[in-house]
Structure 1
Amino acid sequence: MSECLETADRLLTSVIRGARGAWPRACAWLLRYELEAAMDRYWQRVCPEIGQARAQRPKLLLLTHYASPEIGHRTGYLWWALSRAGHHHCYELGVTAAELTRLRAELTDVVALLDSREVSSC
Structure 2
Amino acid sequence: MTPGRCLDAADGLLRSGPSGVWWPKVCACLTRLALELAIEQYWLTTSPQVAACTEQRTRMLRRRSGQDLARRAAFAWGALSTATHHHCYDTAPTAGELRRLHTEVGTLVKHLSNTDRRGN
* TM-score normalised by length of structure 1: 0.88
- Distance across 2 between alignment mates of 1:47 and 1:82: 26
Over residues 75-98 of structure 1, what are the superposed CA-to-partner deviations in whole Å (9 max), with x where a residue is unaligned? 011110111111111112110101
Structure 1 residue 3, shift from structure 2 partner: 2.5
- Distance across 2 between alignment mates of 1:20 and 1:78: 24
- Distance across 1 between alignment mates of 2:11 and 2:108: 17
Q: Give 4+ residue runs of structure 1 displaced > 6 Å after superposition.
A: none
- Distance across 2 between alignment mates of 1:33 and 1:100: 14
Q: Is the 8 A contact 2:7 2:106 kept in 1?
A: no
Q: Is the 8 A contact 2:38 2:113 kept in 1?
A: yes
- Distance across 1 between alignment mates of 2:5 and 2:15: 15
- Distance across 1 between alignment mates of 2:35 and 2:57: 12
3-state DSSP of counterpart to 1:20: coil
3-state DSSP of counterpart to 1:89: coil
What residue ranges of structure 1 are gaps of 5+ in the alignment? none
Which residue pairs with 1:91 in the alignment? 89
What residue ranges of structure 2 are gaps of 5+ in the alignment? none
Q: Where does 1:100-111 land on structure 2 (aligned, <5 Å)? A: 100-111=98-109
Over residues 63-121 of structure 1, what are the superposed CA-to-partner deviations in whole Å (9 max), with x where a residue is unaligned? 0011111111010111101111111111121101010000011011111111111324x
Q: Count the aligned residue pairs.
A: 116
Q: 2:111 aligns with which of 104, 110, 113?
A: 113
- Distance across 2 between alignment mates of 1:109 and 1:8: 15
Which residue pairs with 2:9 in the alignment? 7
Q: Is the 8 A contact 2:13 2:23 kept in 1?
A: yes
- Distance across 2 between alignment mates of 1:75 and 1:99: 16
Structure 1 residue 2, shift from structure 2 partner: 2.9
- Distance across 2 between alignment mates of 1:115 and 1:4: 15
Whichever structure has more helix as a proportion of its residues is 2
